[in-house]
A and B are shown apart, each in its own frame.
Chain A
Amino acid sequence: MATAFSTAKFSTQPFPLNPTSTTSHDSSIVFARPTSQFLGSTRKFRLTSSSKFNLSRRSKTVVAVSDVVKQKKSKSSPSLLITKEEGLDLYEDMVLGRAFEDMCAQMYYRGKMFGFVHLYNGQEAVSTGFIKLLKQQDSVVSTYRDHVHALSKGVPARAVMSELFGKTTGCCRGQGGSMHMFSREHNLLGGFAFIGEGIPVATGAAFTSKYKREVLKEADCDHVTLAFFGDGTCNNGQFFECLNMAALWKLPIVFVVENNLWAIGMSHLRATSDPHIYKKGPAFGMPGIHVDGMDVLKVREVAKEAIGRARRGEGPTLVECETYRFRGHSLADPDELRDPAEKARYAARDPITALKKYLIENSLASEAELKTIEKKIDEVVEDAVEFADESPVPSRSQLLENVFADPKGFGIGPDGRYRCEDPKFTEGTAHV
């Protein structure tokens, strides 16, 4: 295995995909709200996608955008991207995500949860940036790295923690686990263990939204679906098939790529012929946007545009968020392949620290207020653990309850009665 070779090769290069964003990050995060120039730039993307992978060309278009916004900034009076309320809301959501995941790691090592647990540390800006813009009726589809998507969508921390502990009070009654978070109430459609298999489900949810509007004549139905998935998924057939269908039928969906550069131990650059994922959008007839996924405000701006497009019926968007996971792929991953220098570089771009800095520098919040939020979140997470600890484990009778929505599906037994009428059945001791 040429591991030494591969790590050496890619760590010496500066992260090649977005040189300008590195520079724009060095300066303040603040830039004025981008206009529809943003979408105008997708036409440029379309053109460049047909040409060869050309770093300088691509960076030119990105520069073009930030040039425009820098200009705007100097013209107008300092306008901020968020209000204080919004800022605190975003901060709280990201801190919740981080604190929750850290607690998960602790609980895992204490033997309270088992199996494959994939933590989201470092990627909070993507979840918060997108999901906080949604309404309750909008849907979110995620992957196995779904705890924070669930929390951002509104699933109570207690329900998620209980689910992780495998208790009946979990959001899926303990039957799903870490990789299968579902919530009907909050329209979280999963939680999928196989990468790529959630994207068609998201496409279906978007299809329903369009169907409701056009066939069932619910004229005000403008529900949007967000599909979150990673860089590894972008080489999977289901990704491309769904890009095609979504663009074909102009479905109200946003495909959000959380490109954290690594699919377990497989570097994105080693797995992908053209690593610029956003370029694949225009190939299917939708805009492809690349955004700094470590910056919640940038993500939020892009998200507003993309979600707005979908709501207006203009069709899907592909958004590639450059982000990073601070921990390994899962709690079982020794994480030996990633270069410590790369990790350090991204740790310096911690989205929570960045937002904190922004809020304080722009006098949107004081240290004390943020500390209060952090303390509150600590309590929420502690409470979630306590709740989960005290919740009951599923009893035997729960085993067969949700196999079928209509339990007649278990069939007719030798005595002529439906099996589900057998009292032993509900006890879970009946032989199916």
Chain B
Amino acid sequence: MAAIFQGVGAAAPLSSSPSNSFDSNKSVFSPRRSFSVRKRASFAVVRSDGIVNLNPKGRSAQRLISNAVATKADSPAASSSSKPGHELLLFEALQEGLEEEMERDPRVCVMGEDVGHYGGSYKVTKGLAKRFGDLRVLDTPIAENSFTGMGIGAAMTGLRPVIEGMNMGFLLLAFNQISNNCGMLHYTSGGQFTIPVVIRGPGGVGRQLGAEHSQRLESYFQSIPGIQMVACSTPYNAKGLMKAAIRSENPVILFEHVLLYNLKERLPDEDYICNLEEAEMVRPGEHVTILTYSRMRYHVMQAAKTLVNKGYDPEVIDIRSLKPFDLHTIGNSVKKTHRVLIVEECMRTGGIGASLTAAITENFNDYLDAPIMCLSSQDVPTPYAGTLEEVTVVQPAQIVTAVEQICQ
């Protein structure tokens, strides 16, 4: 599984424009460290220009700096031994991010089912309990609503809990706490209490896990005021988003995907975070803007391969921030290509795609040459049978057809 994705990533051709400023990751924590961008330019997956500098003025400064250094071309021939950084699988990247934050701030703690001794259902918290103790990596009883509420109470009184839902779907049981307390408590208390929690867990359609374990909760949570939602898709942004979420004073829901945990990537050795509110430019292009997130990013990149062979030049953006949307990156893209295709794993009705369509129409209607197309999962409970499950989610062939249709 991982190999396919990696292969897809590696094969995605870069745009042939000389100002190839997008292949190196600028997500470094402080401007002083921008030089380190050069070291990681060698991995072939096109990376975003997601700039981490929280000072907006600094952001454009970052871009300029990175333009200058990005002329150092990606050289697939460079041997891995001379590459700096270290290779990690996505779940290891999450673990590393979590561990680094726990080292950095003793108030960061983890709570969830089987996060401690078992190491997490997807091994994201493996080894942490041994290192930090049973109270900092708390194995909870099976009581989602209550331990989520407990995390919120702990956050109000000074801790910074990372609450894990063993599967995102289980957090439906915690909806009371997530909506009422996590989202709203800062407001109803008149700003007196902050809730710096991170709620994370694996979701999405997996391999025949059945309907209840294949849920996409981003659509249910998106209306809750006061929370932020991000979805990670690569080891790099997984670690970066995990760290940013933990450091954020806002409650953040981090959506991971069951099928992406074994992706491998080379990560920088130094500290970095990914900006929670920014989208990631995966592949710049001219003909159509494809907006996607999480696992669908890989289906899109696979379709992009086919599309390039057919002569199309799609621009692929991983929106990453599901709430709020990064209307700047998205807007700039729309203004360039005038055509939008949204590819998501959410249900058709009331999903992220639906909200994104509305947001783009409201803000950039004048720039559109064609109606926005949104490819989402079917409005069905995910069937167990493999053949049926395959057709509930968007497949690359559908994406190719959609692009062809839009670009007519």
Contact = CB atoms under 8 A, between A and B. Distances in A.
Interface stretch (B76-84, B176-184, B205-213, B376-384): B176-184
A64 to B, nearest CB: 34
B115 to A, nearest CB: 15
B189 interface: yes
B145 A237 contact: yes
B221 to A, nearest CB: 14
A115 interface: no
Interface stretch (A175-183, A320-328, A331-339): A175-183
Q: Which interface class (under 10, 10 to 19, 20 to 34, 35 or more) fits A?
A: 35 or more
B155 A204 contact: yes
Which A-B residue pairs are the 6 nearest by beta carbons?
A204-B153, A200-B149, A411-B324, A173-B190, A172-B190, A182-B189
A244 B141 contact: yes
Contacts of B373: none
A379 interface: no
Nearest to A176: B188
Contacts of A189: 153, 156-157, 193
Q: Which of A141, A170, A192 has the most CB of B within 10 A?
A: A192
A406 interface: yes
Interface stretch (B34-42, B132-140, B231-239): B132-140
Contacts of B158: 208, 212
B157 to A, nearest CB: 4
A241 B143 contact: yes
A32 interface: no
Nearest to B176: A197
B61 interface: no
A411 B321 contact: yes
Interface in A40-94: none
A211 B177 contact: no
Contact of B135 (A190, A210, A419): A210
Contact of B145 (A171, A215, A238, A411): A238
B241 to A, nearest CB: 14
B149 A197 contact: yes
Interface string A392-432: 00000000011111101111111111110100000000000
A414 B277 contact: no
B153 A205 contact: yes
Contacts of A413: 327-328
A205 B156 contact: yes
A211 B109 contact: yes
**Residue picked from A175, A176, A241, A244, most chain B C-beta under 10 Å:** A241
A191 B56 CA distance: 38
A183 B324 CA distance: 29
Contacts of B59: 416
Q: Number of contact residues on B: which range applies?
A: 35 or more
Nearest to A244: B141
Given A190-B188, A207-B153, A408-B54, 8 more contacts: A182-B192, A194-B176, A197-B180, A199-B149, A208-B154, A208-B157, A402-B189, A412-B327
Given A200-B153, A211-B135, A241-B146, A402 B159 contact: no
Contact of A176 (B156, B189, B276, B324): B189
Contacts of A173: 190-191
A402 B149 contact: no
Contacts of A171: 190
Nearest to B228: A409
A405 B189 CA distance: 11
Contacts of B326: 411-412
A215 B133 contact: yes
A227 to B, nearest CB: 10
Interface string A95-120: 00000000000000000000000000
B85 interface: no
Contacts of B363: 414
Contact of B150 (A192, A203, A215, A402): A203
B146 A238 contact: yes
Contacts of B156: 189, 201, 204-205
A200 B109 CA distance: 17
A108 B30 CA distance: 55
Contact of A402 (B56, B147, B190, B324): B190
Given A208-B153, A418-B56, A404 B226 contact: yes
B328 A203 contact: no
A405 B154 contact: no
Interface in B202-232: 225-226, 228
Interface in B273-310: 276-278
A245 B177 contact: no
Nearest to A418: B56
B129 to A, nearest CB: 13
B325 interface: yes
20 contacts: A182-B189, A182-B192, A189-B157, A190-B189, A199-B149, A200-B148, A200-B153, A208-B153, A245-B141, A402-B191, A404-B186, A404-B226, A406-B250, A409-B276, A411-B323, A411-B325, A416-B59, A418-B56, A418-B277, A421-B56
B56 A411 contact: no
A415 B109 CA distance: 37
A289 interface: no
Given A204-B154, A410-B324, A405 B194 contact: yes
B394 interface: no
A205 B154 contact: yes
Given A197-B176, A216-B106, A207 B277 contact: no
Contacts of A177: 188
A206 B325 CA distance: 36
Residue among A191, A208, A209 facing the most chain B CB atoms (10 A cut-off): A208
Contacts of B148: 200
Contact of A175 (B136, B176, B188): B188
A152 interface: no
A360 interface: no
Contacts of B56: 416-418, 421
A201 B181 contact: yes
Interface in A212-247: 212, 214-216, 237-238, 241-242, 244-245
Contacts of A404: 186, 226, 228, 249-250
Nearest to B145: A238
B348 interface: no
Interface in B160-182: 176-177, 180-181
Interface in A134-180: 139, 141, 170-177, 180
Contacts of A257: none
Contacts of A310: none
A414 B154 contact: no
B122 interface: no
